């Protein structure tokens, strides 16, 4: 039966051959992984976030392992959009999967300029708006305030005909109004979640473990937060959701699908297990078939939340 399962998914106007993507900042520009991963099998690739101008990023140390996770404070280190278009995109478009370009700006106008520039680039399937990086000044503000989120998404929507994904932060009291603002502004889908703001300390040296003091926590530690965010947003918006946060197994993937994600992004697991996406893809048809599903869409949002009747309710069981 597994051979009959259809893995293709639709994220608004974005068609993906399967729901297993790799997350921005964890897969480089794909060239780094071509010797260990069958890149053509992926549902989509989100390369490292790009900005208008080159960025040197934050001072080191930039990463730190934590229990069940990792803190990073890279600071969007990248060569800028022009180098991306000349050096990286020509390679990426030969790989096969849809290329979803992650962009970030200091203000709405930079997002708009990037979108307009990429709108003319051949091979870009969609844009992911990094509205929520916790490691750069100004970045996270765009997804903690519904009005600012709406402003960026509206501006980008007017600048490009490409599908738009809004990547939102968990570092907010209530994620739902921001998700609703992104949907109402014209986003084709949401990516939930970006990293959780955290900190690590070397108490013997009395020093923070990151040069930027604070960083973004990712990995298995944040999966419950990501599941909660997807579940809440899926009940509040009608656009599709791509789940991200602590995904490292087929069990994780199925949990995200059942709570309301239409696809997932694998992030931190790529660092310590680069081939994890291939094993998940191998296991996905059987996992779907186990639920009696012939397609991914059939299991999206099927979580049952009503109380399970006890053995004594409704009289004795026979």
Q: Which of 64, 133, 149, 196 is catalytic?
A: 133
How far is Cα 20 from Cα 191, in angstroms, rounded to an integer?
13
- Which residue's entry shows tokens 């990516």? 191
Is residue 149 part of the annotated active site? The answer reads: no
Residue 103: exposure state from Cβ atoms within 10 A (0-12, 13-18, ≥19): buried
**The two three-digit tokens of residue 230, written as one number:** 């997807």
How far is Cα 234 from Cα 226, in angstroms, rounded to an integer?
12
**Three-state DSSP class for residue 130:** strand
Residues 6 or more apart in contact with residue 88 via CB below 8 angstroms: 29, 31, 47
3-state helix vs strand vs coil in the chain, percent to 5:
35, 20, 45
> What angle is formed at CA 257 by the lines to CA 19 and CA 30, rounded to 5 degrees?
30
Are the CB atoms for 104 and 113 separated by under 8 Å? no
Are the CB atoms for 109 and 152 separated by under 8 Å? no
Measured in degrees and rounded to the nearest 5, phi and psi for residue 48 equal -55, 140
- DSSP-assigned beta bridge partners for residue 99: 45, 124
Closest to 253 (Cα-Cα) out of 264, 242, 240 = 264
Q: Where are the extended beta strands (E) located within the chain?
A: 9-11, 14-16, 20-22, 44-45, 63-66, 69-72, 99-103, 124-130, 164-167, 189-192, 196-199, 201-202, 207-208, 214-218, 241-244, 263-266
Report the catalytic residues. 133
């Amino acid at each position: 039966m597994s051979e009959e399962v259809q893995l293709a998914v639709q994220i608004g106007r974005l068609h993906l051959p399967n729901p297993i993507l790799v997350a921005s900042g964890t897969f480089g520009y794909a060239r780094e992984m071509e010797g260990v991963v069958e890149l053509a099998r992926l549902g989509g690739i989100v390369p490292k976030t790009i900005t208008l101008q080159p960025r040197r990023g934050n001072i080191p140390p930039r990463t730190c392992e934590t229990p069940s996770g990792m803190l990073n404070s890279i600071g969007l280190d990248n060569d800028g959009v022009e180098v991306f278009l000349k050096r990286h995109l020509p390679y990426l478009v030969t790989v096969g999967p849809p290329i979803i370009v992650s962009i970030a700006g200091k203000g709405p106008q930079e997002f708009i300029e990037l979108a307009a520039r990429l709108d003319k680039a051949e091979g870009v399937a969609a844009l992911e708006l990094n509205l929520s990086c916790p490691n750069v000044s100004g970045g996270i503000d765009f997804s903690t305030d519904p009005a600012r989120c709406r402003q960026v998404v509206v501006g980008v929507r007017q600048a490009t005909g490409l599908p738009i994904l809004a990547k939102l932060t968990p570092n907010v009291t209530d994620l739902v109004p921001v998700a609703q603002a992104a949907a109402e502004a014209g986003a084709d889908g949401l990516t939930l979640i970006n990293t959780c703001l955290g900190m690590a300390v070397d108490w013997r040296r009395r020093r923070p473990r990151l040069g930027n003091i604070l960083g973004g926590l990712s990995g298995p530690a944040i999966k419950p937060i990501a599941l909660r965010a997807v579940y809440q947003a899926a009940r509040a918006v009608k656009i599709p959701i791509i789940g991200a946060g602590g995904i490292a197994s087929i069990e994780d993937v199925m949990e995200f699908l059942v709570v309301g994600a239409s696809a997932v992004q694998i992030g931190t697991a790529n660092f310590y297990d680069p081939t994890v996406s291939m094993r998940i893809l191998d296991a996905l048809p059987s996992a779907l078939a186990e639920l009696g599903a012939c397609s991914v869409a059939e299991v999206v949002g099927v979580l049952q939340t009503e109380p399970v009747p006890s053995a004594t309710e409704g009289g004795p069981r026979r």
